[in-house]
Each structure stands twice: as structure tokens, then as C-alpha cells.
Structure 1
Amino acid sequence: MISKDRLFDILYSPHISEKSSILSEKNNKITFKVSFRSNKHIIKLAVEKLFSVDVQKVNIICMKGKKKNKGKKIIVRNNWKKAYVTLKKGQKLDFMNNF
């Protein structure tokens, strides 16, 4: 069993972008920034417990950190992990009412 504190260590925040908002409207997919140590099963449990919704599928992508020029130096941002969570039909997740 996973504690409530551990659930917040798995899911960092919803990732809001143009692509994620289109996926949310058309395919009922929600995008999250997640812990680099987490896997599909743990992410599914965390979303189901925190938001009381049924999850159909979870896809994970490891995002490479971008390289940025700052003067003469090249700075590399940290790598991070993104999860696309597909909800079952009839399920809806509203962030404004859940937080």
C-alpha cells in the first residue's frame, strides 16, 4: 500500500502545453510531470487514488534536458519524465476542483 505522502512524491505537477490540452480534449489523456524513479504501475495507482478516477492506460516518455547558451557557457537543463495517462470513457479530471 502506498501512503498519501508517497503519492505526491510520484506526481509532481500536470504538464500544460498546447499538445497536452489538445490530447485532453480529443482523447481524454492527461499529462503529468512525474518522478524519474516511477513506473507505469505506480503512476496508475497514484492517479487513481489522488483523483478518484479510473485509468485505462499509462505511457511514459523520458525527456532530455535542453542545452542553453548563457554567454560563453553551455548550460544543460535536467532530464525529466512525462506520463500520458488515458482515462476510461466517462471519466473526467478537473484540476481546478481537485486542488
Structure 2
Amino acid sequence: MSKVIDQRRLADLIIKPIVTEKATLQLEDNKYVFDVRPEATKPEIKAAIELLFDVKVTGVNTARMPRRKKRVGRFMGFKAQVKRAVVTLKEGDSIQLFPDV
């Protein structure tokens, strides 16, 4: 049973790319890390990356990051929970995260 993926919704699934030391080291293995919406599924993430960046995705790994405590004055709350997606691209494909300067 295949689920039809709404093309208009795909662009909203990807929140932002993650640029950390660990994520930058994974670029050598052709892996890119993105924050995605918590309700996004692996097939939707794959379709969104392929549509937005015109690349071929070979694998998607996801992880739900824990909520972090946030204090504002005397009130304690939580930051929104996010989901991280590590996207592996086909050999030879790449995503340009940093514009040429």
C-alpha cells in the first residue's frame, strides 16, 4: 500500500540544515543532517530532499532529540522537540550548504 505524498507539504517538512562539527565531518561520507518536523516519516523526508535539492537519496536515519528545559524568569518550560534526519546521498551527488564566497 503506497501513500500519496503531497508535494506542497514536502517543503515544510525540512526545517533547517545542522552545521556542527560532527555534522561537518559526516559530509565526507556524503551524509547531511537536517532538523525536520516531528511528524515527518522517512519516505517523506527522502522525497522532500530529492525534490528540494535535486539529488538521489540512498538512506535516511532519524532520531528524536530530547526536549530541553527552558527557563524564562521564574517560569520553567520546555523547548519544542525536534527530529533529526541524517540523509545519505548517492555517490557523486552533493548539496551545497555554504554558498561560494
Using the size of structure 1 for normalisation, the TM-score is 0.84
Q: In the alignment, what sits opposite 2:6?
A: 2
Matched length:
95
Matches within 5 A, 1:67-86: 67-86=69-88
Greater Cα shift, 62-71 or 73-82? 62-71
Computed over aligned residues only, the root mean square deviation of the Cα atoms, in angstroms, reads 1.7
Q: Percent identity?
A: 34
Q: In the alignment, what sits opposite 2:46?
A: 44
Which structure carries more helix by proportion?
A: 1
Matches within 5 A, 1:1-99: 1-3=5-7, 5-24=8-27, 26-96=28-98
Whether the 8 Å CA contact 1:14–1:31 is kept in 2: the answer is yes
Identify unmatched segments of 5+ residues in structure 2.
none
Using a 3 Å threshold, how does the CA distance of structure 1 residues 28 and 72 change in structure 2: closer, same or farther?
Answer: same
Greater Cα shift, 76-85 or 88-97? 88-97
**Offset at residue 72 of structure 1 (A):** 4.2
**Offset at residue 93 of structure 1 (A):** 0.8
Whether the 8 Å CA contact 1:64–1:78 is kept in 2: the answer is no
**Which runs of 4 or more aligned residues in structure 1 lie more than 6 Å from their structure 2 counterparts after TM superposition?**
none
Whether the 8 Å CA contact 1:61–1:83 is kept in 2: the answer is yes
